Amino acid sequence: MKKVAFYTLGCKLNYSETSTIARQFVERGFAKVDFNDNPDIFIINTCSVTDNADKKCRKLVKEAQKISPNAFIAIMGCYAQLKPQEIAGIPGVDAVLGAAEKFQLLDLLGTFEKPNKQTDLLQSIDNQPVSNESANSCTDIAQAKIFVSEIKEATTFHTSYSYGDRTRTFLKVQDGCDYSCAFCTIPLARGESRSDSIANIMLKAQEIAQSEVKEIVLTGVNTGDFGLQNGNRVERFVDLVKALDTVNGIERIRISSIEPNLLTDDIIEYVAHSQRFVPHFHIPLQSGSNKILKLMRRRYQRELYADRVAKIKALMPHCCIGVDVIVGHPGETEADFLETYQFLNELDISYLHVFTYSERANTHALGLKPVVPMQERNRRSKMLHILSDKKRRYFYEQNLGKTFQVLFENDVENGKMHGFTENYIRVTAKYDPMLINELKTVKLSFINEQMLMEVEEAETIYALH
């Protein structure tokens, strides 16, 4: 029985796909082990969102070689699709698989035998040395195999969900993206928008409900664009929401991220009265300047975004709203950034995910001017991180004295365990095995100097920044 280890970089979607591929290995008779448990095979699922994808990939390959020098190393995912030749040149890499091939890697790679060194292979059947001409023709024997087709070939939707965390699972409902944002390579890495069917997702949700999992997180590249099959829109995201709300055995369902132009009134209104969908939205903004939104090729203006936030808060005052924002996009002046800062400062939101713009090959933004110096990008990023801390604290203060349910996880650190309220306030408590994967009602009562919100309980339980 060969041992295989997995490492995932990037988003929740990548985690759901890695977990599904790992289950395929186990079904074929492989033993899934930890990264440092001397595996025979390493599978690394990569991301292209951050500008140091190559550095992370190279570091993981080096670590894998230290742990198991003779192990087979395969790289898949978004970075693999975008730059297969670059990855194939990393010493130690044996195979590179693109978006259309990663779910076929067990069939494509066969026995996962690492290629022998050229000097071991340059012998004829009669065990006689081959000619120099023949030797030269074998120089690529030990090079990495590349299984990467053009992205237009990635048209199949592969159902995926993460498994192993008893508390929650990431359920993939959509893949790819038809948007052409100026800064983004995801359409080049994952292909066109496509979705699972509601019927099949319901089967998977019911399958998940038979396990101990109590929370499902819906994930995709452009989750709100759910419903496209073979290029035609046959279903709607709001109908998926309504269907999943009927699944017995799942306590909570959370939407991982949804574009503001796709977050419709009927979705917000349904979630506000749902039995299972929690009051938590993560809505990408990227910029609070209409000028920059246009340069970014986003499909809305700031007025629509403000309207979505107002609609949510009118129906769910306690709702948590997270925001993605990019600083330093080409063309962003100091005035544009301050417009973004002021817009966010005045919005009733709960926290920010701040991204510093980084150049990406084959993107429209590369041709935009002026380019913002990296030092200035970092300064703006720091300002928004500080604003995010202030927003989170204010959100906590707004929830003081209120009662929520915490779903505790098997996440133990320094004798403490953690969990989240339905509206995404993180809590910690003294470790108690009886609390793991349990919903416990708490009252948020006090925020201390460490940004910990204490709650009224027999045990000492805190809400944690």
295-305 pLDDT, tens per residue? Answer: 999 999 999 99
What sign for the dihedral angle of Cα 228, 234, 236, 240? negative
- Across 411-428, average pLDDT: 85
Residue 122's pLDDT is what? 37
Q: Which CATH architecture has domain 153-397?
A: Alpha-Beta Horseshoe (3.80)
Q: What is the CATH number of domain 3-151?
A: 3.40.50.12160
pLDDT of 92 over the 90 cut: yes
Give the C-alpha separation, 419 to 215, whole Å: 12
Question: Residue type at 237?
Answer: F
Residue 51's pLDDT is what? 64
- Across 439-453, average pLDDT: 74
Q: Are 432 and 417 in contact (CB under 8 A)?
A: yes
Average pLDDT over the chain, rounded to an integer: 89
- Residues of the chain with pLDDT > 90: what percent? 75
Q: What is the pLDDT of residues 251-285, one digit of tens each?
A: 999 999 999 999 999 999 999 999 999 999 999 99
Residue bearing the bigger pLDDT, 349 or 409? 349
pLDDT of 189 over the 80 cut: yes
Confidence of residue 413 (pLDDT cuts 50, 70, 90): confident
Residue 427's pLDDT is what? 84
Residue 110's pLDDT is what? 86
Phi, psi of 170 (to 5 degrees): -95, 115
Residue bearing the bigger pLDDT, 179 or 442? 179
What is the model's pTM? 0.89
Confidence of residue 75 (pLDDT cuts 50, 70, 90): very high
Task: State both tokens at 56.
Answer: 């992370």
Phi, psi of 303 (to 5 degrees): -65, -40
Q: What is the 3-state secondary structure (H, E, C) of the chain?
A: CCEEEEEECCCHHHHHHHHHHHHHHHHCCCEECCCCCCCCEEEEEECCCCCCHHHHHHHHHHHHHHHCCCCEEEEEEHHHHHCHHHHHCCCCCCEEECCCCHHHHHHHHCCCCCCCCHHHHCECCCCCECCHHHHHCCCCCCCCEEECCCHHHCCCCCCCECCCCCCEEEEECEECCCCCCCCCCHHHHHCCCEECCHHHHHHHHHHHHCCCCCEEEEECCCHHHCCEECCEECCCHHHHHHHHCCCCCCCEEEECCCCHHHCCHHHHHHHHCCCCECCEEEEEEECCCHHHHHHCCCCCCHHHHHHHHHHHHHHCCCCEEEEEEEECCCCCCHHHHHHHHHHHHHCCCCEEEEEECCCCCCCHHHHCCCCCCHHHHHHHHHHHHHHHHHHHHHHHHHCCCCEEEEEEEEEEECCEEEEEECCCCEEEEECCHHHCCCEEEEEEEEECCCCEEEECCCCCEEEEC
Q: What is the pLDDT of residues 216-246, one digit of tens each?
A: 999 999 999 999 999 999 999 999 999 999 9
Compute the C-alpha angle 99/105/107, nearest 5°. 135
Give the C-alpha separation, 73 to 43, whole Å: 6
Q: Are 30 and 3 in contact (CB under 8 A)?
A: yes
pLDDT of 414 over the 80 cut: no
pLDDT of 210 over the 80 cut: yes
Q: What is the pLDDT of residues 3-53, one digit of tens each?
A: 999 999 988 899 999 999 999 999 999 999 999 999 999 999 998 876 677
pLDDT of 132 over the 90 cut: no
Residue 330's pLDDT is what? 98
Residue 446's pLDDT is what? 77
Residue 48's pLDDT is what? 81
Give the C-alpha separation, 23 to 110, whole Å: 17
Give the C-alpha separation, 412 to 354, whole Å: 27
Q: What is the pLDDT of residues 190-206, one digit of tens each?
A: 999 999 999 999 999 99
Q: Domain limits of the chain? A: 3-151, 153-397, 403-464
Give the C-alpha separation, 297 to 330, whole Å: 12
- Across 158-162, average pLDDT: 94
Compute the C-alpha angle 35/413/319, nearest 5°. 100
Residue 369's pLDDT is what? 95
Give the C-alpha separation, 339 to 192, whole Å: 33
